[in-house]
Amino acid sequence: MCHCRKSLSLSLLICALAAMALARARAEDSGLQLPPRIDVDRYHSAVLPADAPGEKNAVSVDGPVRDALSAASAKSSRDDGPGLSAKDPVASHRDRSPSPVVHRLPPTNDEPQRLPLFVAQRDPAVTAPATIIVPAAKKIAANKEQEPAGLDAAATVAPPAKPALSAEMAALRDRVRSTVAAYSQQSLNTRDNSVSDIIELCLAFGCQTEVLYGSEKLNGITCLCWNYPCGDYQPLMLVDGHVAARVGYGTQTDPAQLLAVLALSRVPVDYPVRVGTKVRSVADLVASEKLSCRAGTDQSFRLIGLAYYSATKDSWKNDRGEPWNLERMIREELARPDAESSVAGANRLLGLGFAVSKLSKLKAPVGDLGRAKKFVEDYQQFALSLQNSDGSWHPLFFAAVGTSRDWEGTLSATAHIFEWLAISLSAEQLENPEVVRSVEYLTTLLANQSSHWNVAALSAKDLDGVMHALHGLNVYDERVFKPRDPKKVEGEEKKAAAEAEKPAEAAKEAK
């Protein structure tokens, strides 16, 4: 009898635990639903006819990348060796594991260490093009609202003055800037953090990124472009005479991720890139990515980089001799299978959204560009229909609707989707209530946890979510809040200071 009671008690305990586990699982994904799927096949070129076939084959051999690359090659060819031979740069990037490097401080009179983005060439053994010895930060600031030099010219019309922000939006602006500023004070270091961590940090803060290299502060973009060791791995190498970014453990996690971050940070195409004693420019990295184009592969980040640094009608051949241009890259991305439940789907939309936003300003959105524009617009509405009432998205991205207790997954999905929307939506759409709710959600989440989150100690997944959220908030600030900032009148501060000093001077004279 006693044995039966023990068995019954054990059975009841197991049933109770099972019921609690089931209830907890249901609570974690409350309101989980499967949304209707978008028929992506109807955006393929085989289904929708081209609007203007004549424009699809327009080819131009000119372009800023080719010009800068030719100039750099002509001046530095005598110092370049044969480089590393590789029949397939893409395969060589993945298969060739980067060799660890000795982590040490550079000579004090050799490589750049100070901010801003300034390259002072003081090593007489290194002969670099004279054009790279420029304060690049000033150049970026001067051209912040312009396309890279050499892109197809387009008529620009001054936008109408925007109305002042409401009290609620002004308060949100202050919260966003305060939260972003708090995270910008937390620095990563090249001893403990990998190349991918530094790339994520540069995505969030662009050319203002700072990292610690030993006891010195170094600009993040300079750290990557000048091949500083990060976590005992270097971001760059030479492949067939071209500067190429490593892909794999300890380095960038996706092909062309580094080039995409440089493009999103508006780094000039002639900004210097260095491997050993060989100094090239970003143009050489662009040429390397062009050689690595492959049909049927994920080219989300490569599309961002090439859409920014290449002319709209520029064409090239990969290392297999296959013809490529931006239209074909867009067509290939539209033809790839959809990845609704992972970050890959958000990256695909980010690449297409960035390309559409850039190229539509320079040419009519017809043909493959028109299909991509329609695809992005439809997915924007689809994404907003999946949004939760608090402004978040489910950790399964576009494959589910509902809230979840997996706040890390919720942060990741919300950050990536919002980042894409902040880049691809029009300025007017960014002020819609749905988008504002996402801004409030991310700002509150990051602000509430900022005292508990040490950026340098975050896991790779959490760091990715936080940095993409910060990048989205920075883009939103630039597109919505900054155009409404009161313009400072030149000399106004000096005049105010002089007025403030008058009473003090009068008091002294009275004495």
Residue 8: the pLDDT is 59
Under the banding of pLDDT at 50, 70 and 90, the label for residue 503 is low
Cβ atoms of 307 and 361 closer than 8 Å: no
Q: What is the pLDDT of residues 299-308, one digit of tens each?
A: 999 999 999 9
Q: What is the pLDDT of residues 376-408, one digit of tens each?
A: 999 999 999 999 999 999 999 999 999 888 988
Rounded CA separation 115/138 (Å)? 12
Lowest-confidence pick of 13-27, 306-320, 372-386: 13-27
Rounded CA separation 510/495 (Å)? 23
Cβ atoms of 371 and 377 closer than 8 Å: no
E strand or H helix at 243, and its extent? Answer: strand 242-245
Q: What is the pLDDT of residues 398-441, one digit of tens each?
A: 999 998 889 889 999 999 999 999 999 999 999 999 999 999 99
* HSE (side-chain half, CA atoms, 13 Å) at 24: 7
User: Which residues are registered as beta bridge partners of 455?
Assistant: none
**Does pLDDT of 55 surpass 60?**
no
Rounded CA separation 445/458 (Å)? 15
With CA atoms as reference, report the closest residue to 405 among 415, 395, 418, 414.
395
* Residue of higher predicted confidence among 340 and 111: 340
- φ/ψ region of 231 (left if φ > 0, alpha if ψ in -120 to 50, else beta) reads left
Rounded CA separation 471/483 (Å)? 18
Q: What is the sign of the dihedral through the CA atoms of 423, 429, 430 and 434?
A: negative
Residue 360: the pLDDT is 86
With CA atoms as reference, report the closest residue to 63 among 330, 312, 271, 317.
312
Q: What is the pLDDT of residues 111-168, one digit of tens each?
A: 333 333 333 232 333 333 333 223 333 343 344 333 333 333 333 345 566 788 899 9
> Token pair of 474, please?
């920075």
Other beta carbons within 10 Å of 132: 21
Domain ranges of the chain: 28-57+295-486, 66-139+187-292
Q: What is the DSSP string of 234-256?
A: -SEEEETTEEEE-BSTTSBSSTT
**Does pLDDT of 283 surpass 90?**
yes
Residue 20: the pLDDT is 57
Rounded CA separation 18/24 (Å)? 10
Q: What is the DSSP letter of 340?
A: T
Give SS3 for 70. Answer: helix
The reply to whether omega before 503 is within 30° of 0 (cis) is no
Alpha-carbon separation of residue 124 from 110, 118, 225, 228, 487 (angstroms):
9, 18, 20, 20, 45
Identity of the amino acid at 450: S
E strand or H helix at 211, and its extent? Answer: strand 210-213
Cβ atoms of 352 and 298 closer than 8 Å: no
